Amino acid sequence: MPDRVTLQDVADRAGTSRTTAHYVLTGRDREMRIAEETRRRVLRAANELRYRPNLMARGLRTNVTRTVALVTDAVASEAYAGALVSGALAAAAERGYLLFVCETGEDPLLEEQLLAQLLDRRVDAYLYATFFTRDVEVPRALQGQKVALLNCVDPAGAWPAVVPDERAAGRSAAAALCEAGHREGIWIVGEPAEKVVAGAERMQGIREGLSEAGSQIAGVVPAQWWPESAFEQFGDFLDGGGRPSAVICLNDRIALGVYQALTARGLSVPDDVSVVSFDDSDLAVWLRPALSSIALPHREMATEAIRLLLDDGEVRPGPVRVPMPLRARDSIAPPR
């Protein structure tokens, strides 16, 4: 058996022409009304020779490669991004597509080079993704290509996009606290300005949710979105006499800092203060007590984006908002 088996080899062995072999091997024998007997011979020959089509030759001819590119600013900076990649991988594989992954590090020059490489390989479609939800400008090289934005949007709304529904998530956080009976002393920890989109939308949702329940924010303890900053700022707040009934942390890492500050002062979650947070990272289940958190649905977002890209059906520009489910755990209790 030769190293590289061509369609011609299969045809020869089946005693037929390349055309005939081609039609049966691409499953279009019905429409060509190929004799059943011929069909069998071709199939058997292909099998015996372990024929595999050369997708480069096919691609050169048809200009389709059955490949998708995931172009992202960062794939590894923090825990969650993996689910974005993994979801895209799985959804693409299901459809018989392979995924090129690229990381631009927000370097425009590198991005340009990477896109050129992708274009040169005639990639069929592009997932343009960001690690943090934010506005992006779609690179000019991608004009005219099939593109879906993942975890980002273009301000003009000209491209299809998939983002988490942060505002609804904010309402969920508020609702989780209100359902447990909290109305007073609900504090936010985190710097809403920092992660522009996520922070602002989460805040807006929280305000709306609280207001619907006849409540409102007691105040904001500003902190960077990191454990240490939250530990210090929230610690200062406690030391200054702050006694919240419940705390909404703008993400899980902030919640870790809040836990640490509370523990250091002999205060208990959820007996002294209830805590709810966003992201549902690994941390949430590791904390004691386990943290109720509203999940960033990275896997679902990636699946949806691949669906927009590869399944036919009309694709409207503008963002699709994917729900962020509350993972209720042990950090919320009625106010004392």
Partner DNA sequence: TTGAAAGCGCTACCAC
Partner DNA sequence: GTGGTAGCGCTTTCAA
Query: Which of 13, 20, 190, 322: binder of DNA (CB under 7 A)?
Result: 20
Least spacing, CB of residue 172 vs DNA, in Å:
49
Least spacing, CB of residue 224 vs a copy of itself, in Å:
13
Q: Which residue has the tokens 């011979």?
A: 41
Query: Strand 160-164 vs strand 186-189: parallel, antiparallel, or unpaired?
Result: unpaired
Q: Which stretch binds a copy of itself (CB under 8 A): 52-60, 174-182, 194-202, 204-212?
A: 52-60
Distance of alpha carbon 128 from alpha carbon 139, whole angstroms: 10
Q: Which is closer to DNA, CB of 59 or CB of 318?
A: 59
- Cβ atoms 225, 202 nearer than 8 A: no
Site string for a copy of itself, 66-105 (x = CB under 8 A): -x------xxxxxx-xxx-xx--xx--x--x-xxxxxx--
**234: Cβ contacts below 8 Å, ≥ 6 apart:** 189, 221, 223, 247, 257, 258, 261
Instruction: Note whether 59 binds a copy of itself by CB under 8 A.
Output: yes
Q: Which does 138 bind (CB under 5 to 8 A by kind): DNA, a copy of itself, none?
A: none
How many residues in the shown chain lie near DNA by CB under 7 A?
25
Query: Which of 60, 93, 156, 193: binder of DNA (CB under 7 A)?
Result: 60
**What letters, b where the CB count within 10 A reaches 16 and e where it falls short, cover 42-56?**
bbebbeebebeeeee
Q: Which does 50 bind (CB under 5 to 8 A by kind): a copy of itself, DNA, none?
A: none
**88: Cβ contacts below 8 Å, ≥ 6 apart:** 68, 70, 99, 127, 150, 302, 303, 305, 306
Instruction: Note whether 125 binds a copy of itself by CB under 8 A.
Output: no
Give 178's DSSP letter.
H
**217: Cβ contacts below 8 Å, ≥ 6 apart:** 186, 187, 188, 206, 207, 210
Q: Which is closer to a copy of itself, CB of 57 or CB of 193?
A: 57
Q: Residue 48: which H helix or E strand, with range?
A: helix 36-49
Distance of alpha carbon 142 from alpha carbon 138, whole angstroms: 7
Q: Which residues bind a copy of itself (CB under 8 A)?
A: 52-57, 59-60, 65, 67, 74-79, 81-83, 85-86, 89-90, 93, 96, 98-103, 110, 113-114, 116-122, 226-228, 231, 253, 256, 260, 263, 282-283, 286, 288
* Residues found near DNA in the complex (CB under 7 A): 4, 6-8, 16-20, 22-23, 25-26, 32-35, 38, 53-54, 57-58, 60-62
